């Protein structure tokens, strides 16, 4: 065994190259401390201390079937193929940044001990599978954790562990509960029922119908309505965190329930940043005919009618955002997308005729642009796709989505993560393969 502590832990963990991890808590910066491309599965505790954003990212990277929840887990085990790390350190900046907690542990290379730790990991996994048998149960628990996390930040029980101070973007927003954001309109000043609320503690507030299902530890995204109920786009969209809900908190004929953001609480990080592009996309969807329940021209207006449509609303907003980004792009970028799609179609014609990939790919290309489909196909998966393996065996990797993505002329169409994943999958099936550069 080799003792590790302080700043040496981070480098040692990278060297372990963990494929399986069992830790109590996972922080937002989890990717900074391990090789996320190697990790196959994780067991974690979905309790206060684990950042819900990190869990969403892990599920996106590994698939929900490889992210396991065990409430009372307190171990910290990192298992690689030939060695392991065991100690006091969670997968978080607080434990691994060398500027947080004082942590220590061991690097283990003894094959018998590593095998015993792997057996223990599998025991934890079985317990986790018994506790949370389905994806739906995990998402339900994650929704609870997200609400608890925001409450913990607002009441100063915990600190948000985002070390870089970055804010989330609308394009990356992933809802885990149907009602974690209420989208509603406001029109003006409120009169508080001073017998039920302490006005001096209120930073912001929105009122609702008495029987509206509004809960604390949720977010409100509100906008100002014109007299006809449509959005007043000269006004800014606003976030409000619901610290508490007070029955009969507002003096209003119908809208007496009051959601309050207190001025004596910390403000958690909002679900996403309200950039100019995000604001325009939200207003555009609000103006559409598909979401009339959100507009303020109904009397009485109820947030209950909007909740079943929130998921569709935010998906529509993200589609609108992507469309605006595409529209604002240069003609050169449009031409490049068209060229990429043409290259992919030609390559897939050859691959399908040679039976290296199935004809299903043609149907996918009819439903989705080749660029977006390429991004989808290279998302992290628990196993390499059979089509890529067949192309590698036939020495035809030049026909693959991954190879064409990596041509220099198409680099601007994809993110750094997209290209790194494409390179990773190609290396997995043929470590000596070099994509064309033209």
Q: Are 202 and 260 in contact (CB under 8 A)?
A: yes
Cα–Cα distance list, 49 to 161, 270, 318 (Å) = 10, 18, 30
Q: For the chain, what's the residue count?
A: 438
What integer pLDDT is reported at residue 32 of this predicted model? 84
- Topology (CATH) of 2-151: Endonuclease; Chain A (3.30.870)
Q: Are strands 20-23 and 41-44 parallel, antiparallel or unpaired?
A: parallel
Q: What is the pTM of this model?
A: 0.68
The rounded average pLDDT for each run of 10 residues, N- to C-terminus, in the chain (438 residues) is 88 92 93 89 96 93 96 96 94 76 92 96 97 94 94 88 64 87 91 94 96 95 92 92 96 94 92 91 91 89 95 93 67 78 90 89 85 87 77 91 91 88 87 66
Domain ranges of the chain: 2-151, 172-326, 331-429
pLDDT at 51: 93
Q: Which of 292, 67, 25, 277 is nearest to 176 (CA)?
A: 67
- The reported pLDDT for the residue numbered 17 is 93
Q: What is the DSSP letter of 334?
A: H
Secondary structure tally for the chain: helices H, strands E: 13, 13
Q: How far apart are CA 51 and CA 168, in angstroms?
A: 14
């Amino acid at each position: 065994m080799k003792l590790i502590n302080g700043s040496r832990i981070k480098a040692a963990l990278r060297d372990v190259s963990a494929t399986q991890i069992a830790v109590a808590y996972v922080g937002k910066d989890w990717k900074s401390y391990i090789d996320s491309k190697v990790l196959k599965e994780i067991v974690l505790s979905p309790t206060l201390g684990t950042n819900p954003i990190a869990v969403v990212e892990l599920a996106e990277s590994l698939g929900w079937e490889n992210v396991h929840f065990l409430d009372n887990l307190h171990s910290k085990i990192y298992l690689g193929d030939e060695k392991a790390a065991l100690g006091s350190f969670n997968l978080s900046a607080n434990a691994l940044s060398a500027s947080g907690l004082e942590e220590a542990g061991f690097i283990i290379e003894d094959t018998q001990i590593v095998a015993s730790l792997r057996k223990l990991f599998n025991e934890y996994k079985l317990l986790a599978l018994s506790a949370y048998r389905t994806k739906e149960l995990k998402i339900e628990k994650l929704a609870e954790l997200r609400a608890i996390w925001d409450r913990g930040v607002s009441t100063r029980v915990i600190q948000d562990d985002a070390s870089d101070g970055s804010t989330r973007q609308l394009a990356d927003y992933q809802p885990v509960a149907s009602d974690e954001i209420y989208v509603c309109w406001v029109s003006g000043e409120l009169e508080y029922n001073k017998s039920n609320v302490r006005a001096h503690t209120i930073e912001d507030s929105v009122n609702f119908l008495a029987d509206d299902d509004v809960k604390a530890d949720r977010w409100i995204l509100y906008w100002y309505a014109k007299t006809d109920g449509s959005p007043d786009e000269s006004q800014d969209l606003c976030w409000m965190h619901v610290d508490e809900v007070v029955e009969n908190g507002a003096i209003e004929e119908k809208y007496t329930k009051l959601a309050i953001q207190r001025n004596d609480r910390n403000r958690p990080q909002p679900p996403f940043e309200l950039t100019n592009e995000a604001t325009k996309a939200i207003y555009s969807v609000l103006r559409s005919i598909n979401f009339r329940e959100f507009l303020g021209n109904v009397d009485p207006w109820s947030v209950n009618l909007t909740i079943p449509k929130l998921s569709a609303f935010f998906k529509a907003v993200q589609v609108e955002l992507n469309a605006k980004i595409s529209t604002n792009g240069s003609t050169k970028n449009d031409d490049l997308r068209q060229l990429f799609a043409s290259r992919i179609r030609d390559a897939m014609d050859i691959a399908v005729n040679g039976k290296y990939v199935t004809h299903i790919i043609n149907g996918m290309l009819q439903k989705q642009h080749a660029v977006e489909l390429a991004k989808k196909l290279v998302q992290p998966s628990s196993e390499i796709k059979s089509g890529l393996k067949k192309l590698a065996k036939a020495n035809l990797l030049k026909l693959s989505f991954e190879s064409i993505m990596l041509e220099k002329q198409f680099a601007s169409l994809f993110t750094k993560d997209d290209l790194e994943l494409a390179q990773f999958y190609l290396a997995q099936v043929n470590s000596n393969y070099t994509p064309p550069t033209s």
